[in-house]
Amino acid sequence: MIPAIVIFAAAYVLMLTFSKFRPYIALSAGIVFIVTGMLPLNQILSVLDFNVLLMIGGTMGLVQLFIDSRMPARMADMIMNRVPNIQWAAVCLSLFAGVISAFVDNVATVLMVAPVAIAICKKLNTNPVPFIISIAVSSNLQGAATLVGDTTAIMLGSALDMSFMDFFWYQNKPSMFFAVELGAVLSAFIVYWIFRKEKGAIPKSESITEVSDYVPTVLLLGTIGLLICASFAPDSWNLPGEINGIICCSLLAIGLIYNFCKKKTAEAVLGPLKAIDFETLGLLIGLFLMIGGISNMGVIDALAQLLTKLGGGNVFLMFTIIVWASVLISAFIDNIPYVATMIPVIAGIAQQMAPGVGVDAAVLAIPLYFGLLSGATLGGNITPIGASANITAIGILRKEGHEVQNADFFKIGIPFTLAAIIPAYIYIWLVYGV
């Protein structure tokens, strides 16, 4: 176990130190886990999240078609004509991304909203880095608001047998949606404060950019609709685990065929494919391999067991440990394997603590589960590599010629995380604490 921890920690330190080489560092560390046998060959495919990889690749291509249609530029014109200054433009884009992310995967949300922000920044000749980071962290926040917002929410919903509406009202009490929205309101003030110096007026324009083709917009909206529909599909349909990625790639294929038929050139197909950021995909593959390696070596299980011992017999202390440890751990470890590991651990904690507390184990577990979801979802906002949406956002900025420094991310991600998690932490305990 110790060698796995050392390799994992060293890789993360190197990725934080040498941001330009993150994909190569992650892939190299992943190969080390494979070569040393800490990640067996027969587990490689199982640790790679093909759903995420396919979804990112497909959506990147669709977004390029969307950009080429000039729809983002038109949306930028519309926003610029309705907000008084750059500060409010940043707040509105952040909230807009959050609303979408409550129903669509965080990565897809970033890929859809970022082009609008980039278009606005180009028109105003302002730095897009804080805009895109704000969009990414807002997307991560809202992933826990509904059953379909994030993979971790889906896993928790399955563990508690929660329906879509249970995220709004659960056991006759206001549920996770309201905990998340409290954080969203406070974090909007954080974004407002971060952009406090951006008081420059946005010039109003009488002419709005003309859209050259509405088909990419229809395809992108169709992607959102199908992703939502897929989340409601009954288990009896036996949809593949990669259904979201399949949807994104299928609609990209339709878009490429349409674009080729319209333009009759190879560039009609190659252009959108070139827009796929393979460095970002490489970084994610490396991270998946690293996480698979430490999971196989029992590191995540050991962390979960440590949390169990620290809580003792105090439910509030256990709740506090789970929330804040989840925030810290998910800042460096993908929250999906962490949440998957912790769900059965929390069930065991509840069973052990219930007799001493005099409360049914199922009731006792609820605040612990909700604390896990909120902490693990929001912790990824602390570091640039804590969530797939962050990695995607940084990849978009890199393609635009902007290298994101760790300090650039920390000064937005850390206050945003605190503003979002503190009200959720208080709310969950006040409503569901025992």
Handedness of CA 342, 345, 347, 353 (dihedral sign): negative
Give the count of domains, the chain.
1
162-206 pLDDT, tens digit each: 777 888 889 889 999 999 999 889 989 999 999 988 887 777 777
Residues forming beta bridges with residue 305, ordered by sequence position:
none
Give the separation between CA 300 and CA 332, rounded to whole angstroms.
Answer: 12
Structural domain for 280, as ranges? 2-432
Mean pLDDT of the chain: 85
pLDDT at 156: 85
The token pair that represents 279 in the structure block: 């460095």
pLDDT digits (tens, 9 = 90+) for 321-354: 999 999 998 887 767 767 877 887 888 888 878 8
Give residue 337's pLDDT: 67
Q: What pLDDT, on a 0 to 100 scale, did the predictor assign at position 374?
A: 92
Residue 177, phi-psi category: left (phi > 0), alpha (psi -120 to 50), beta (remainder): alpha
* pLDDT value of position 327: 92
**d(Cα 17, Cα 13) in Å, to the nearest integer?**
6
Determine contact, residues 285/27, Cβ cutoff 8 Å.
Answer: yes
> What are 271-274's contacts with CB under 8 Å, separation 24+?
271/64, 271/68, 272/61, 272/62, 272/64, 272/65, 272/68, 273/61
Q: Which residues pair with 85 in a beta bridge?
A: 201
Residue 29: both structure tokens together: 């560390």
Over residues 114-136, the pLDDT tens digits come to 888 888 888 788 889 999 999 99
Mark the ranges of the chain whose per-residue pLDDT is less than 50. none
Between 2-17 and 22-35, two packed helices, what is the crossing angle to 10 degrees? 170
pLDDT of 431 = 94
Burial of 120 (0-12, 13-18, 19+ CB in 10 A): buried
Number of CB atoms found within 10 A of residue 36's CB? 13
